[in-house]
Amino acid sequence: VNASPSAPPQARVLLASNRGPISFTVEDDGTLTPRRGGGGLVSGLSAIGDEIESVWVCAALTEGDRAATRQGKLGDPSVRMLDIDAGTFARAYNGIANSTLWFVHHLIYNTPTTPVFGSSFRREWASYEAYNRAFAEALAEAAAPGATVLVQDYHLSLTPRLLRELRPDLRIGHFSHTPWAPPDYYRLLPDDIARDVLVGILGADRAGFLTRRWASAFADCCETVLGAEVDRSALTVTHEGRTTRLGVHPLGADGDFLRERAHRPDVDSRLAALREAVGDRRTVVRVDRTELSKNIVRGLHAYRHLLHTRPEWLDRVVHIAFAYPSRHDLPEYREYTASVLRVAQEINDEFGTPDWQPVLLAVDDDFARSLAAYRLADVALVNPIRDGMNLVAKELPVVSDDGCALVLSREAGAYEELGEDAVTVNPYDVIATAEALHTALTMPAAERADRCKRLAEAGTALPPSAWFLEQYRALAGDQLQE
């Protein structure tokens, strides 16, 4: 591993995640263009403040990232990018993180044919171990004595334990942004790997989850797979003499940022274009990555069912579906995107008229256009088959101009906080989803506005910087108590 040399060696707060705050593209003339990512972790780390020396350890994801790392051109001394061998990285990221672990936690294996845990899987697993070790070593090297380290997500489930072996003095937290699988499903994994992932996370002093449901599922897996001792009221797991506390930190939307960003001129101009396309019809809006767990295809089937069974909506509604390209190195994702496009086209062919296109689908990345759709939405459709949280459900009500109704899957983490004011659905039941769309579309305006206001309040209760500080303080607080 080559790590960028510019990081301060003795940071007191460290963050580790696969995707970092900055990414580089190589232009045709060979120059490197940086692109700074937004998002919760970036604002969270800045919330820690300038006084505390902090470092963000992440992976080089693109050729541009690798070049910037090798040439020492990251331009930010607090970012340490790991230039892990491209093959090792691809096997760890695509093979284990995004296929195996993501698929297990989102219950999206089609078990008669997948998974197959054979020799190529074992090679991927060895790469995942090497990738996690690279993170542990970089963190061990950069951390000051007794420093606090916040390790993020399923890419890095082995890192807490590996890091503790290298540096027992550190305060280590791990946070899962995904759901956690129930034991019967989790045990699809080969036995040794099912154990290693749990033991890896239990290397942390604290393991954080987005909802109580995912934290409980993790505890259930520790009990079933490891025989660990679980205290459900104190939310602790004790294994081989060490106790890990489980925390529940329901990440919310960044209301201040969204309200300001959604009224900039680039959003206004896209809103005008969308209004022109929609006319005086109602809108059902969804915005997702083209992600298997987001259930976009069943959402389209539900919309088709609505048009079939409630002809009063013909020519009266438009389904705006914006789906960002995601993880297209995996064939499952390419196929999924193709089926989204196909079903949308079928609906437009079946019901469309010269004046009305029932589905407006776009599969490219345009954040300003998504915010414009948020503002225009009469109904937001968030129907994942399983989702750690789903921030769209929390963001959209904040930005909505006239108050939108939310159709929400009970399998999204956001359901725990938003369920009361949403129209909730079983995401597999397309007939019930169609009925929920009808209920949402016909909800009286005053009720819709009231509910939308409460959804926006609940959805912004723990904005990213507060969420981040909460975890950081919980780790520090544990230390004070000991």
Q: Which is nearer to ligand G6P, 299 or 388 (CB)?
A: 388
Residues 145-164 that bind ligand G6P (CB under 6 A): 153
Which of these, 291, 295, 258, 289, lies nearest to 364 by C-alpha position?
289
Amino acid (one-letter) located at 468: F
The yes or no reply on residue 19 touching ligand G6P (CB under 6 A) is yes
Q: Which is nearer to ligand G6P, 108 or 226 (CB)?
A: 108
Q: In angstroms, what is the minimal distance from the CB of 192 to ligand G6P?
A: 25
- Which helix (H) or strand (E) segment holds residue 327: the answer is none
Q: In angstroms, what is the minimal distance from the CB of 152 to ligand G6P?
A: 7
Decide if 462 contacts 444 (C-beta within 8 A). Answer: no
Q: Which residue has the tokens 């070790």?
A: 133
Strand order in the sheet with 206-209: 2-3, 79-83, 54-59, 11-16, 143-152, 171-175, 206-209, 242-248, 236-239, 229-231
Q: Which is nearer to ligand G6P, 177 or 319 (CB)?
A: 177
Which two tokens mark 368? Answer: 């300003």
Per-position x/- string for 191-230, each x denoting binding to ligand G6P as judged by CB under 6 A, each - no binding: ----------------------------------------
The yes or no reply on residue 69 touching ligand G6P (CB under 6 A) is no
Q: Which is nearer to ligand G6P, 19 or 281 (CB)?
A: 19
The yes or no reply on residue 387 touching ligand G6P (CB under 6 A) is no
Which two tokens mark 3? Answer: 């790590």
Q: Where are the alpha helices (DSSP H) in 28-115?
A: 40-47, 63-70, 86-90, 102-105
Residues 80-109 that bind ligand G6P (CB under 6 A): 98
Decide if 256 contacts 466 (C-beta within 8 A). Answer: no
Query: Shortest Cβ contact with ligand G6P: which residue?
Result: 177
Per-position x/- string for 237-276, each x denoting binding to ligand G6P as judged by CB under 6 A, each - no binding: ----------------------------------------
Q: Which is nearer to ligand G6P, 69 or 326 (CB)?
A: 326
Residue 224 CA from chain centroid, whole number? 27
Which of these, 50, 150, 140, lies nearest to 476 by C-alpha position?
150
- Which helix (H) or strand (E) segment holds residue 378: the answer is none
Residues 167-196 that bind ligand G6P (CB under 6 A): 177-178
Q: Which is nearer to ligand G6P, 95 or 403 (CB)?
A: 95
Amino acid (one-letter) located at 294: K
Candidate residues 327, 369, 448, 451; the one interacting with ligand G6P per rule CB under 6 A: 327
Per-position x/- string for 108-147, each x denoting binding to ligand G6P as judged by CB under 6 A, each - no binding: ----------------------------------------
Distance, in Å, from the CA atom of 342 to the CA atom of 366, rounded to the nearest integer, reads 21
Which residues make up the interface to ligand G6P (CB under 6 A)?
19, 98, 153, 177-178, 326-327
